[in-house]
Amino acid sequence: MTKAVIYLRSATGNQEQSDRQEADCRAYLRERGLSATHTFRDDGHPGPALAELLDAASKGEVTDVAITSLDRLGRRFTENLDNFTSLEQAGVTIHTAEGIITGPIGDDCVRSFLYKFALAEAELVTDDTGNPRRRP
């Protein structure tokens, strides 16, 4: 039985942005004959709602999660990779407004890109003004 959920995150806490994300995710799911049983919502950094989603996924309470874009799963590539991997290991199919990103073809491709971005991000340091630059 499919247990689809929606995860929303607005970096700024903007209600209109969250509402738009939810409408996009619901339309996406509806087009595929799915409906969401629950909506998880965080404002700002990924937080308690994402933790609840990951916990529910680990318990087998979620089979599919709809997000508007992969960056909703974390603000940094390393967070994205960790959260993506946790959902994948729980057997959850990740859907974005652009389409399904997990599956036989997409898994290796997406994971490879996330890994490469995470490595590149790890190479960056922040200077005194808060701007990223490459490690010396």
Instruction: Please report, for the domain that includes residue 72, its CATH number.
Output: 3.40.50.1390
pLDDT category at 74 given cuts 50, 70, 90 is: confident
Report yes or no on 58 lying in a domain.
Answer: yes
| Prediction pTM value | 0.73
Residue 32 near residue 66 (C-beta atoms within 8 A): no
Report yes or no on 126 lying in a domain.
Answer: no
Distance of alpha carbon 6 from alpha carbon 126, whole angstroms: 33
Report yes or no on 131 lying in a domain.
Answer: no
Task: Write the pLDDT tens digit of every residue in 105-118.
Answer: 455 556 566 666 66
Residues whose CB is less than 8 angstroms from the CB of residue 90 and which lie 6 or more positions away in sequence, other chains included: 54, 57, 58, 60, 62
Q: Which pair of structure tokens corresponds to residue 41? A: 């919502």
Residue 41 near residue 11 (C-beta atoms within 8 A): no
Domain count, the chain: 1
- Given this model, what pLDDT does residue 78 score? 80
Q: Which residue range forms the structural domain that includes residue 32?
A: 4-102
